[in-house]
């Protein structure tokens, strides 16, 4: 940026809009497609804007672009300017602005969908209308979108790795123990003698890069149990579908166990306080300002993941009346 006290040249709004488009779309090529311009034209305009502000706006990270500190500052102002401009166009066109807020959420693929729903649902019951835009992708892609402010929030099962060059902040939502589930036809025999009944039993495992997988493997090793792994599946909803069909035993967060039993024809065979799943909201803000994100984090901490929250639906089936054993 220009040295303190030195005036900055009058900013060209056209250059600023091109910069805003590149930051929003994540690359010059995608911004060029959206604006119906050539990448060379946009690159030239960006260089002129960098000359005006006196500093680099983007830094190369492999094949992608990341905002510099100066770029983040300029983007925060440009984003507000052009959003207000879009609102003005709505007013002039006779459309009513201020019809609520938009919440852009990215969900890591390893987060259970039932839990995602329970975490995000409070945003839809706010007095102020909220439009929820939710995408599910690998965590690294979501963090890239968060870094250019395309997302307000990323929901994941692990905190942000400090080694990543991303300015973002972890907001712990809470933790939950794990329950083991099996199809109703198989549940009784696995419940008897749990957890040793899992030795040699078919098991559906989460993907290798999930935090749950590591915790589950450590627990099995400590118990001296070697199940027969029949599938490794990233999508937790798909794991439950296979489990319902009798393919194997699987785990679910205790915080949403009542939802799992209502949705799938399975029974709980046991639980463990040692296999903890932790969930995080990652945002670009150190102090949360987005009203919907504030509601989500508060409700999760004081409701869904509250230690006092009862497990409402264990057991729900007549054949599940035996007390559940806690393994460790």
Mean pLDDT on 79-106: 72
Specify the pLDDT at position 272: 94
Q: Check if the beta carbon of residue 46 is closer than 8 Å to that of residue 15.
A: yes
Q: Is 233 strand, coil or helix?
A: strand
Mean pLDDT on 294-310: 81
Cis peptide before 195 (omega within 30 of 0): yes
Residues 180 and 33 in one domain: no
Q: What is the mean pLDDT of the chain?
A: 85
Specify the pLDDT at position 140: 86
- How far lies 104's CA from each of 253, 273, 300, 309, 320, in Å? 25, 33, 18, 28, 41
* Residue 3 belongs to a domain: no
Place 13 in a pLDDT band, splitting at 50, 70 and 90: confident
Q: At residue 318, does pLDDT exceed 70?
A: no
- How far lies 93's CA from each of 14, 86, 88, in Å? 23, 11, 9
Against a cut of 0.85, is the pTM above it?
no
Mean pLDDT on 67-95: 78
Q: At residue 133, does pLDDT exceed 60?
A: yes
* Residue 7 belongs to a domain: no
Residues 191 and 88 in one domain: no
Q: Give exposure, 258-293, as e/b (b: 16+ Cβ within 10 Å).
A: bbbbeebebbbbbbbebbbbbbbbbbbeeebebebb
Residues 55 and 107 in one domain: no
Specify the pLDDT at position 249: 98
Q: Check if the beta carbon of residue 105 is closer than 8 Å to that of residue 132.
A: yes
Specify the pLDDT at position 323: 37
Q: At residue 317, does pLDDT exceed 50?
A: no
Q: Of 50, 70, 92, which closes a domain?
A: 92
Q: How many domains does the chain have?
A: 2
Domain assignment of residue 289, given as a range:
101-328
Specify the pLDDT at position 69: 87
Strand positions, DSSP E, the chain: 58-61, 64-67, 101-108, 130-137, 153-156, 169-183, 202-206, 228-233, 250-253, 266-283
Specify the pLDDT at position 24: 85
Specify the pLDDT at position 305: 87
Query: When comparing pLDDT for 246 and 84, which is higher?
Result: 246
Q: Of 92, 121, 150, which closes a domain?
A: 92
Place 144 in a pLDDT band, splitting at 50, 70 and 90: confident
CATH number of the domain bearing residue 38: 1.10.10.10
Q: Of 68, 92, 116, which closes a domain?
A: 92
Specify the pLDDT at position 185: 94
Percentage of residues in the chain having pLDDT higher than 70: 86
* Residue 266 belongs to a domain: yes
Residues 228 and 119 in one domain: yes
Mean pLDDT on 309-328: 39
Determine which of 103-117, 121-135, 157-171, 224-238 has the lowest per-residue pLDDT on average.
Answer: 157-171
Specify the pLDDT at position 162: 78
The residue with tokens 């099962």 is 157
* Residue 19 belongs to a domain: yes
Q: At residue 98, does pLDDT exceed 60?
A: no
- Residues 22-32 have pLDDT tens digits of 888 888 888 88
Residues 120 and 85 in one domain: no
């Amino acid at each position: 940026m220009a040295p303190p006290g030195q005036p900055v040249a009058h900013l060209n709004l056209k250059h600023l809009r091109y910069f805003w488009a590149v930051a929003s779309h994540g690359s010059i090529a995608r911004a060029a497609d959206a604006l119906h311009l050539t990448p060379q034209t946009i690159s030239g305009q960006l260089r002129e804007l960098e000359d005006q502000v006196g500093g680099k706006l983007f830094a190369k990270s492999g094949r992608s672009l990341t905002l510099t500190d100066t770029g983040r500052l300029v983007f925060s102002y440009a984003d507000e300017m052009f959003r207000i401009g879009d609102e003005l166009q709505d007013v002039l066109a006779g459309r009513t602005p201020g019809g609520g807020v938009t919440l852009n959420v990215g969900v890591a693929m390893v987060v259970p969908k039932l839990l995602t729903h329970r975490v995000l649902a409070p945003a839809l019951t706010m007095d102020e209308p909220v439009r929820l835009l939710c995408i599910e992708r690998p965590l690294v892609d979501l963090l890239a979108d968060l870094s250019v402010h395309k997302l307000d929030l990323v929901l994941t099962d692990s905190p942000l790795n400090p080694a990543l060059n991303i300015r973002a902040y972890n907001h712990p939502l809470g933790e939950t123990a794990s329950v083991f589930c099996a199809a109703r036809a198989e549940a009784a025999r696995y419940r008897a003698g749990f957890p040793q009944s899992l030795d040699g039993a078919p098991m559906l495992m989460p993907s290798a890069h999930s935090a749950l997988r590591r915790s589950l493997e450590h627990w099995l090793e400590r118990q001296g149990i070697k199940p027969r792994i029949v599938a490794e599946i990233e999508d937790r909803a798909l794991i439950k579908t296979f489990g319902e069909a009798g393919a194997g035993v699987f785990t679910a967060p205790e915080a949403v166990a009542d939802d799992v039993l209502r949705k799938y024809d399975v029974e709980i065979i046991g639980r463990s306080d040692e296999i903890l799943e932790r969930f995080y909201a990652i945002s670009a803000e150190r102090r949360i300002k987005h009203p919907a994100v504030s509601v989500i984090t508060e409700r999760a901490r004081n409701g869904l993941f509250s230690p006092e929250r009862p497990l409402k639906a264990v057991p729900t089936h007549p054949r599940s009346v035996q007390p559940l054993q806690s393994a460790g």
